[in-house]
Amino acid sequence: EAQVTQNPRYLITVTGKKLTVTCSQNMNHEYMSWYRQDPGLGLRQIYYSMNVEVTDKGDVPEGYKVSRKEKRNFPLILESPSPNQTSLYFCATRGSTSYNEQFFGPGTRLTVL
Amino acid sequence: GQSLEQPSEVTAVEGAIVQINCTYQTSGFYGLSWYQQHDGGAPTFLSYNALDGLEETGRFSSFLSRSDSYGYLLLQELQMKDSASYFCADTGRRALTFGSGTRLQVQP
């Protein structure tokens, strides 16, 4: 079954404690992306990756890092989380030919105290 | 910059037709996508318009007018399960920019 997985699904942490949210896809897609969703703001893109070892900033990259060492994985790293990073995070991927459709993971709800 | 505007909330009754509008101000606009998101769930793709005109997929249709920087999602024969948030998105090759979403409430 084609899917995008994220871990953890829920996380409560404290300010300054480094964390990583993993994202993995089994669709052999080159493109992957991270979004955060906040009430009234919709989904905003954090980072995206067009291919392995190629990453670019989205609209709200401050405070986040990503890496793309292999095609299937695209982890999101918060080196020093702050309360304003409390949000719902989604990883997404899309194909190279029909890139209009993005497939989203189930989401990770992060709370930073 | 890019911005897409949608109404924040729409209410309709079961069996009716509802239209959710989206106006955009973007540089380098590529195409307009629509996504559905139920509470607690992930966004799921509904439709995409690269060209002007109407695209139909079952009960859902989507329309784009580039000259008016405007599009809409049309939902027919509304069902209770259609209660969800709907997002339009400027779908570029590199990045995807979402509107803030429209919450649709379908009433019996």
Total count of residues recorded for chain B: 108
What is the Cα–Cα distance from A50 to A8, expressed in whole angstroms?
24
pLDDT at A40: 83
- The number of beta carbons lying within 10 Å of the beta carbon of residue A110 is 21
CB A15 within 8 A of CB A83: yes
* Cross-chain CB nearest to B42 (options A40, A42, A107): A107
Residue type at B29?
F
State residue A33's pLDDT score: 96
pLDDT for position B1: 61
Q: Looking at the predicted structure, is the pLDDT value of residue B2 above 80?
A: no
Q: What is the pLDDT of residues B39-95, one digit of tens each?
A: 989 999 999 999 999 999 899 999 999 999 999 999 999 999 999 999 999 987 777
> Greatest CA separation found in chain B?
42
- Reply yes or no on whether the pLDDT at B19 is more than 80: yes
Torsion on CA atoms B25, B50, A45, B42, rounded to nearest 10: 120
- CB A81 within 8 Å of CB A65: no
B48 touches chain A (CB under 8 A): yes
Question: Between A41, A59, A100, which is nearest B48 by CB?
Answer: A100
Whether B91 contacts chain A with CB within 8 A: yes
Q: Does A89 touch chain B (CB under 8 A)?
A: no
B33 Cβ under 8 Å from any chain A Cβ: yes
Residues 6+ apart with CB under 8 A from A62: none
User: How far apart, in whole angstroms, are the C-alpha atoms of residue B78 and residue B27?
Assistant: 34
Best B8, B39, B98 member to test A by mutation, with max A CBs in 10 Å, is B98
Per-residue pLDDT, averaged over A79-105, amounts to 90
Give tens-digit pLDDT for A59-75: 999 999 999 999 999 99
Judge contact between A35 and A45, C-beta under 8 A: yes
Report the candidate in A7, A52, A15 with the shortest Cα–Cα distance to residue A32: A52
pLDDT band at B34 (very low <50, low <70, confident <90, very high): very high
Residue A76 is predicted with a pLDDT of 98
User: Which pLDDT score is estimated for A42?
Assistant: 87
Any CB–CB contact under 8 A between A101 and chain B?
yes
Residue A99 has a pLDDT of: 64
pLDDT of residue B54: 96
Q: pLDDT tens, A1-58?
A: 889 999 999 999 999 999 999 999 999 999 999 999 998 888 999 999 999 999 999 9
* Cβ within 8 Å, pair A42-B98: yes
**CA dist A96 → A29, A106, B29, B94 (Å):** 7, 22, 19, 11
Look at residue A98 in the predicted model and tell me its pLDDT.
67
